[in-house]
Amino acid sequence: MTTFDDRKKAFEKKFAHDAEMAFKAAARRNKLLGHWLAPKLAIEDADAYARSVVVADLEESGDEDVIRKVMADVRAAKVDLDEAEIRAKLAEFGVEAMAQIMAETD
């Protein structure tokens, strides 16, 4: 029974660690997206805008809340960016964010 309990605890610990890493990666990805978008939207305070993108991701699970927020900002600024480009950048920054986090944990 002890071996089973040990394996269960190890699995739970790994699950919690993986969830934490995924959360950090998503927040970093959204921050990178905000910093990329800020100059395109003529926003001077890129850090504040990046934080607002990170906060937008807390509304619901998945990426749709982030897409909705940034697309509304893009339309308001009358910038020529479409949703496909935003989604592509989100994917690109997702890979970059995970690489950054993995480099920090080494």
Task: Please write the tens of the pLDDT for every residue from 20-59.
Answer: 888 999 999 999 999 999 999 999 999 999 999 999 998 8
Structurally, at CATH architecture level, domain 2-105 sits in Orthogonal Bundle (1.10)
Cα atoms in the Cβ-side hemisphere of radius 13 Å centred on 64: 3
Query: How do residues 81-104 score in pLDDT, each as one tens digit?
Result: 999 999 999 999 999 999 999 898
Q: Is the pTM of the predicted complex or chain greater than 0.75?
A: yes
Task: Please report, as a single letter, which amino acid is at residue 35.
Answer: H
Whole-angstrom CA distances from 68 to 11, 43, 53, 63 are 35, 18, 10, 9
Give 53 or 61, the one with higher predicted confidence: 53
Using an 8 Å Cβ cutoff, are 47 and 85 in contact?
no
